[in-house]
């Protein structure tokens, strides 16, 4: 779908790039010629991922251990990466989440999520943005949200609140930093099953929930990783150069199902629809 050299000469940082969606997107950037720095909390996981991705794609990957909740550590890491050359783009992918009744959450439980998603994402964005501005270079930030940013979501309130904050950052900085040629966009994925997310969000068992949930998705399936990673590539590449401040949903239409409240009518068969039509017509004629 893209030229093999689309991202040749480009350098990107992917937070949480050692596992899950972050790893899939990192690998796609590498396949298209980019150089990628991945960061995360677990050194061994990162180093293994970097070695495997480099072997598979022939691309250059560096691994950086950091906890994005610690602003000074983030700035130090970004400074280190910059010594090897400036970054062209940042992919804010690192996140944390678990399901819990909100009344059961301790303040520390709330902070565990908000410190990663809201604060950590800001720290990395700010560390890159300040450098782009100081050097007069263009920049590109892509953040991974969820479709909860439009609707909120019960039982994952710290994530819904924090991801909505990252959406506000995306839109605010798209305007503030637009004249400096720094773009910010976001992707709001629906269900793209990864081991890490499913363990925390579908702990009751992944396979039966997965088939159960597809009936609430208009396109009747979960997302394919390639669909997500190709969208990320497009938004991180210069080919999307006139797009900024945008949040692109990629969810098979799932979040729209709650709109209007008629989604359950899917269950009706032809006979039931004919009967409904007759009933409404009769009501109109009265
Ligand atoms: C209630 C919990 C809890 C749980 C932790 N806490 N897990 N409370 N239910 N399941 C509380 C603890 O009791 C503690 O509060 C506080 O949170 C901090 O706990 P720690 O274990 O010390 O937290 P920490 O080591 O910082 O771990 C962070 C984490 C962890 C978020 C809890 O899961 C993590 O590191 N996850 C990163 C990867 C991840 O989550 N990936 C999935 C992302 S999926 P007290 O008061 O007891 O001390 C995603 C979107 C998916 O983001 C979208 C799908 C559609």
Which CATH number covers residue 232? 3.40.50.720
CA dist., res. 33 & res. 57, Å (int): 9
> Is there a domain that residue 195 lies in?
yes
Residues having CB within 6 Å of any atom of ligand 1: 95-98, 100, 105-106, 108-109, 112-113, 146, 159, 191, 196-197, 200-201
Structural domain harbouring 88: 11-261
> Is there a domain that residue 280 lies in?
no
Give the residue, out of 69, 97, 112, 255, with the most ligand 1 atoms within 8 A of its beta carbon, to mutate for a pocket test.
112
> Is there a domain that residue 23 lies in?
yes
> Is there a domain that residue 272 lies in?
no
Counted domains in the chain: 1
> Is there a domain that residue 273 lies in?
no
Q: What is the pLDDT of residues 245-272, one digit of tens each?
A: 999 999 999 999 987 778 788 889 999 9
Q: What is the pLDDT of residues 143-202, one digit of tens each?
A: 999 999 999 999 999 999 999 999 999 999 999 999 999 999 999 999 998 877 777 667
If you measure from the C-alpha of residue 146 to the centroid of ligand 1, how many angstroms do you get, rounded to a whole number?
A: 17
Q: What is the pLDDT of residues 89-141, one digit of tens each?
A: 999 999 999 999 999 999 999 999 999 999 999 999 999 999 999 999 999 99
Within 10 angstroms of residue 168's Cβ, the number of other Cβ atoms is 12
* Cβ(49)–Cβ(42) below 8 Å: no
> Is there a domain that residue 266 lies in?
no
* ipTM (interface pTM): 0.92
- Atom 16 of ligand 1 has which residue's CA nearest to it? 109
If you measure from the C-alpha of residue 95 to the centroid of ligand 1, how many angstroms do you get, rounded to a whole number?
A: 10
Within 10 angstroms of residue 36's Cβ, the number of other Cβ atoms is 28
């Amino acid at each position: 779908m893209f030229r093999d050299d689309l991202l040749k000469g480009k350098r990107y940082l992917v937070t949480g790039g050692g596992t899950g969606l972050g790893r899939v997107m990192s690998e796609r950037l590498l396949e298209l010629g980019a150089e990628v720095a991945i960061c995360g909390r677990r050194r061994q996981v990162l180093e293994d991922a970097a070695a495997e991705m480099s072997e598979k794609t022939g691309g250059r990957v560096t691994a950086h251990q950091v906890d994005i909740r610690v602003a000074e550590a983030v700035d130090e890491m970004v400074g280190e990466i910059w010594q090897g050359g400036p970054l062209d783009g940042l992919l804010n992918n690192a996140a944390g989440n678990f399901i819990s009744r909100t009344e059961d959450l301790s303040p520390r439980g709330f902070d565990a999520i908000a410190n990663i998603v809201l604060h950590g994402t800001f720290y990395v964005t700010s560390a890159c943005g300040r450098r782009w501005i100081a050097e007069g270079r263009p920049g590109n930030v892509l953040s991974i949200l969820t479709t909860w940013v439009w609707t909120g979501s019960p039982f994952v309130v710290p994530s819904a609140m924090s991801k909505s904050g990252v959406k506000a950052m995306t839109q605010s900085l798209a305007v503030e930093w637009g004249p400096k040629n720094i773009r910010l966009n976001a992707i709001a994925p629906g269900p793209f099953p990864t081991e890490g997310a499913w363990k925390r969000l579908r702990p009751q068992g992944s396979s039966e929930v997965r088939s159960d949930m597809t009936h609430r998705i208009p396109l009747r399936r979960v997302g394919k990783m390639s669909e997500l990673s190709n969208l990320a590539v497009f938004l991180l590449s210069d080919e999307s150069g006139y797009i900024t401040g945008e949040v692109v949903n990629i969810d098979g239409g799932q979040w729209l199902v709650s709109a209007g409240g008629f989604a359950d009518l899917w269950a009706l068969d032809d006979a039931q629809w004919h009967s409904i039509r007759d009933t409404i017509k009769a009501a109109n004629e009265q």
